[in-house]
């Protein structure tokens, strides 16, 4: 447990200089990224292409105390200009809608700048592969904000599975129900609903891309298994919506385990109900995002126990990802911040700082992004073919 991540010994004795693409006034997730970046005091935001509208870009920059010459009108201009500065940004956060991730991220990678990028990685498999190739060619750090992997009890769960505490994994149940699209919210002008239900900005999937990818990735992250096949039944329940708003899937994993994935945005009474349950031949684990500080562990034949962040039975992997003692709940922002903290460790190492804790290397990267895009496309393809099995 560390309250703050920086000490005199961790490499360049300064905060990392951060830029941001997207996230101007009226955006949601950009603000979350900024809180996450500030929380552990490892970054200072110094540059941005915060909006494609130049006026809004400048005003948004002023809100955030950016120097006006570092408020850019486009990511292309920003990548070029920053690359030319002595005090150029160390890393950029790409927080635009999905359809711009590829081009923006690529521009900074080509300029030699590390990237933190929102998920899903891209809207097409081709773009995803191209970005992965670019990352691999440039050998830069690329972090994908599958933020739920930053929760301490998810790190705990992963380490427990890896240590064999569940035995051989047999069954994976993952679900992510929400209710905010139960009605046709996008028709009211609600911004978040608009772009997420618009194929031009979201890609070929709605609910599957927006939250199904989180569920899919979380299950693989915790179990260490690879999902090889999916049989999916996607549905659009709200009339006039061009993309799926409910997804039912059967999953098969590389070790023979079987799974189910449910993602929905039309399930009244569910706010952000990401839930993962994993069962092996020695025990079971259950975790619920809305109460993230607890993990239920049932060793077969023994009473189930509740392991809390920092409480008895919590492991170093959980400890790596937390700040405050047990009983003082951490939440979504702290989980998100963990991704930024780990990214900082990786980047600082590149700048000559110490080798990061191996836990830091667990942050999702570009290959996770490629898998996510492949998952989306496999799910859509399976559903089109009547829920036939499709390889991922």
Query: In the complex, what is the shortest distance from the CB of residue 109 to a second copy, in angstroms, rounded to a whole number?
Result: 27
Residues 104, 111: contact at Cβ < 8 Å?
no
Q: Which helix (H) or strand (E) holds 336?
A: helix 332-350
Per DSSP, helices labelled H in 3-91 are 29-39, 54-63, 75-83
- Using an 8 Å Cβ cutoff, are 113 and 363 in contact? no
Least Å distance between CB 48 and a second copy?
13
DSSP string of 204-234? S-SHIIIIIHHHHHHHHHHH---EEEEEEEE
Q: Which is nearer to a second copy, 95 or 366 (CB)?
A: 95
State the nearest-atom distance from the C-beta of 134 to a second copy, in Å.
31
Specify the DSSP class assigned to residue 120: S
CB of 116 to a second copy, least distance (A): 17
Tell me whether residue 195 or residue 389 sits nearer to a second copy (CB atom): 389
Closest to 72 in 3D by CA, of 56, 84, 86: 56
Residue closer to a second copy by CB (options 209, 280) is: 280
CB of 165 to a second copy, least distance (A): 11
Nearer to a second copy, 67 or 324 (CB): 324
Q: What are phi and psi of 199, to 5 degrees?
A: -55, -30
Nearer to a second copy, 25 or 367 (CB): 25
The C-alpha atoms of residue 259 and residue 107 are separated, in whole angstroms, by 38
| Complex with a second copy: residue 80 or 182, whichever CB lies closer | 182
DSSP per residue, 308-326: ETTSTT--HHHHHT--S-T
* Tokens of residue 27, six digits: 């955006």
Nearest-approach distance from CB 8 to a second copy, in angstroms: 6
Smallest separation, CB 30 to a second copy (Å): 8
> Shortest approach of a second copy to residue 208 CB, angstroms?
14
Cβ closest to a second copy, residue 64 vs residue 81: 64
DSSP 386: T
The span from the CA of 163 to the CA of 257, in Å, is 18
| CB nearer a second copy, residue 204 or residue 250 | 250
- State how far the alpha carbon of 231 is from the alpha carbons of 83, 156, 251, 304, 373, in Å: 45, 30, 7, 32, 16
């Amino acid at each position: 447990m560390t309250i703050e991540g920086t000490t005199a010994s961790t490499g360049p004795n300064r905060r990392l200089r951060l830029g941001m693409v997207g996230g101007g006034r009226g955006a949601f997730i950009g603000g979350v990224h900024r809180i996450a970046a500030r929380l552990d005091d490892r970054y200072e935001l110094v540059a941005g292409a915060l909006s494609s509208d130049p006026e809004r870009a400048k005003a948004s920059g002023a809100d955030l105390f950016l120097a006006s010459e570092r408020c850019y009108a486009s990511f292309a201009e920003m990548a070029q200009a920053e690359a030319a500065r002595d005090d150029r940004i160390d890393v950029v956060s790409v927080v635009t809608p999905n359809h711009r991730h590829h081009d923006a991220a690529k521009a900074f990678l080509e300029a030699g700048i590390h990237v933190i990028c929102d998920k899903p990685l891209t809207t097409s498999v081709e773009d995803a592969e191209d970005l992965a190739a670019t990352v691999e060619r440039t050998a830069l750090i690329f972090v994908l904000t599958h933020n739920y992997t930053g929760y301490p009890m998810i790190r705990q769960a992963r380490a427990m599975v890896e240590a064999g505490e569940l035995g051989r994994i047999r069954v994976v149940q993952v679900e992510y129900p929400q209710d905010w699209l139960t009605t046709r919210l996008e028709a009211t002008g609600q911004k978040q609903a608009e772009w997420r239900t618009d194929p031009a900005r979201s890609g070929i999937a709605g609910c599957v891309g927006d939250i199904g990818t989180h569920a899919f990735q979380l299950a693989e992250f915790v179990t260490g298994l690879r999902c090889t096949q999916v049989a999916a039944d996607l549905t659009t329940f709200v009339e006039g919506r061009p993309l799926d708003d409910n997804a039912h899937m059967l999953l098969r994993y590389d070790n023979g385990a079987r799974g189910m994935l449910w993602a929905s945005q039309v399930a009244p009474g569910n706010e952000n109900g990401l839930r993962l349950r994993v069962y092996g031949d020695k025990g079971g684990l259950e975790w619920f995002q809305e109460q993230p500080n607890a993990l239920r562990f049932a060793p077969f034949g023994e009473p189930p126990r509740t392991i809390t962040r920092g409480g008895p039975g919590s492991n170093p992997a959980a400890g790596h990802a937390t700040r405050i003692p047990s009983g003082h709940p951490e939440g979504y922002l702290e989980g998100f911040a963990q991704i930024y903290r780990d990214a900082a460790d990786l980047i600082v190492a590149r700048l000559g700082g110490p080798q990061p804790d191996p836990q830091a290397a667990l942050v999702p990267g570009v290959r996770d992004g490629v898998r996510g895009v492949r998952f989306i496309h496999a799910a859509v393809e399976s559903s089109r073919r009547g829920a036939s099995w499709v390889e991922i």
